[in-house]
């Protein structure tokens, strides 16, 4: 029973975090570093992460 509770809590946390990150990115589209990085770095679309 305890394993089921912890498993459900872990699954809920993963789903909640993913959903909130997508919501945050959607609300703040165009204002985050990942969106404007190409304007300020040479080379355009390089992904240095």
User: pLDDT by residue for the chain (49 residues), tens digit each?
Assistant: 999 999 999 999 999 999 999 999 999 999 999 999 999 997 655 666 5
pLDDT of residue 34: 94
- Note whether 35 and 29 are within 8 A (CB): yes
With 0.75 as the threshold, say if the pTM is over it.
no
Q: How far apart are CA 42 and CA 5, in angstroms?
A: 49
């Amino acid at each position: 029973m305890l394993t089921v509770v912890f498993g459900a809590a872990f699954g809920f946390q993963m789903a909640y975090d993913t959903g909130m990150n997508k919501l945050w990115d959607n609300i703040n589209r165009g204002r985050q570093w990942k969106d404007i990085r190409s304007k300020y770095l040479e080379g355009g679309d390089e992904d240095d992460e």
